[in-house]
A and B are shown apart, each in its own frame.
Chain A
Amino acid sequence: MNRIVERQDLSENVVRMVLEAPEIARKRRAGQFIILKIDEKGERIPLTIVDSDAREGTITIIFQVVGKTTAVLARMNAGESLSDVQGPLGNPTEIENFGRVVCIGGGVGVGVVYPLAAALKKAGNHVTSIIGARCKSLLILEQEMKQVSDRLIVATDDGSYGFHGFVSAVLQNMIDAGEKIDRVYAIGPVPMMRVLANLTRPYGIKTIVSLNPIMVDATGMCGACRVSVGGKTKFTCVDGPEFDGHEVDFNLLSNRLRMYSEQEKQTMEAHRCECHGK
Chain B
Amino acid sequence: MENNSAKPKKEKIPRHAMPEQEPQLRIRNFDEVPLGYTEKLAIAEAQRCIQCKKPSCVAGCPVDVDIPGFVKLIAEGRFIEAALKLKETNALPAVCGRVCPQEDQCEKVCILAKKGEAVAIGRLERFAADFERNLGDVAVPARAKPNGKRVAVVGAGPSGLTIARDLVGYGYDVTIFEALHKPGGVLVYGIPEFRLPKAIVDAEVDYLRKLGVKIETNVVVGRMKTVDELFAEGYNAVYIAVGAGAPVFMDIPGENLSGIYSANEYLTRSNLMKAYRFPEYDTPIVRGRQVVVIGGGNVAMDSVRTALRLGAEAATIIYRRSEAEMPARAEEVHHAKEEGVKFQLLTNPVEYIGNEQGWVTGVRCQRMELGEPDASGRRRPVAVAGSEFVIPADTVVVAVGTMANPIVPATTPGLDTNPRGYILTKDDSGKTSREGVYAGGDIVTGSATVILAMGAGRQAARAIHEYLSRGEV
Q: Which of B72-80, B92-100, B111-119, B260-268 contacts the other chain?
A: B260-268
A267 and B279 contacting across the interface, CB-CB below 8 Å: yes
When the two chains form the complex, which single residue of A27, A228, A238 contacts B224, counting CB atoms closer than 8 Å?
Answer: A27
Please tell me if B286 contacts chain A, counting CB pairs below 8 Å.
yes
What residues of B have a CB within 8 angstroms of the CB of A233 in the complex?
A: 249, 251, 255-256
Judged by DSSP, the binding face of A is mixed
CB contact under 8 A between A84 and B218, given known A27-B224, A43-B282, A222-B262: yes
Please tell me if A42 contacts chain B, counting CB pairs below 8 Å.
yes
Please tell me if A69 contacts chain B, counting CB pairs below 8 Å.
yes
A69 to B255, CA, bound (A): 29
Shortest CB distance B411–A (Å): 12
When the two chains form the complex, which single residue of A41, A219, A227, A258 contacts B282, counting CB atoms closer than 8 Å?
Answer: A41
A259 and B258 contacting across the interface, CB-CB below 8 Å: yes
Nearest residue (CB) in B for A84 is B181
Q: Which of A86-94, A97-105, A108-116, A133-141 contacts the other chain?
A: A86-94
Please tell me if B7 contacts chain A, counting CB pairs below 8 Å.
no
Please tell me if B283 contacts chain A, counting CB pairs below 8 Å.
yes
Nearest residue (CB) in A for B247 is A223
Chain A, 202-226, CB within 8 A of any chain B CB: 216-217, 219-224, 226
What residues of A have a CB within 8 angstroms of the CB of B217 in the complex?
A: 84
Q: Which of A6-14, A152-160, A248-256 contacts the other chain?
A: A248-256
1/0 per residue A243-278: CB within 8 Å of B?
Answer: 000000001100110111001101100100000000
What residues of A have a CB within 8 angstroms of the CB of B225 in the complex?
A: 23, 27
Nearest residue (CB) in B for A32 is B223
CB contact under 8 A between A258 and B357, given known A42-B282, A219-B407: yes
Please tell me if A24 contacts chain B, counting CB pairs below 8 Å.
yes
Please tell me if A16 contacts chain B, counting CB pairs below 8 Å.
no
What residues of A have a CB within 8 angstroms of the CB of B283 in the complex?
A: 43-44, 216
Total count of chain B residues near the partner, CB < 8 A: 43
CB contact under 8 A between A260 and B284, given known A24-B224, A219-B405: yes
Chain B, 175-229, CB within 8 A of any chain A CB: 179-181, 189, 217-220, 223-225
A217 to B259, CA, bound (A): 18
B273 and A44 contacting across the interface, CB-CB below 8 Å: yes
B258 and A256 contacting across the interface, CB-CB below 8 Å: yes
CB contact under 8 A between A259 and B265, given known A24-B224, A37-B181, A41-B280: no
Please tell me if B278 contacts chain A, counting CB pairs below 8 Å.
yes
Nearest residue (CB) in B for A85 is B218
A275 to B393, CA, bound (A): 38
Top 3 closest A-B pairs, CB basis? A255-B358, A263-B284, A222-B265
> Can you report 12 residue pairs joining A to B where beta carbons are below 8 Å apart?
A37-B181, A68-B282, A84-B181, A86-B179, A87-B224, A89-B220, A89-B223, A221-B264, A223-B247, A227-B256, A258-B258, A267-B282
A contact set with B: CB distance below 8 Å = 23-24, 27, 37, 41-44, 68-69, 83-89, 216-217, 219-224, 226-228, 233, 238, 251-252, 255-256, 258-260, 263-264, 266-267, 270
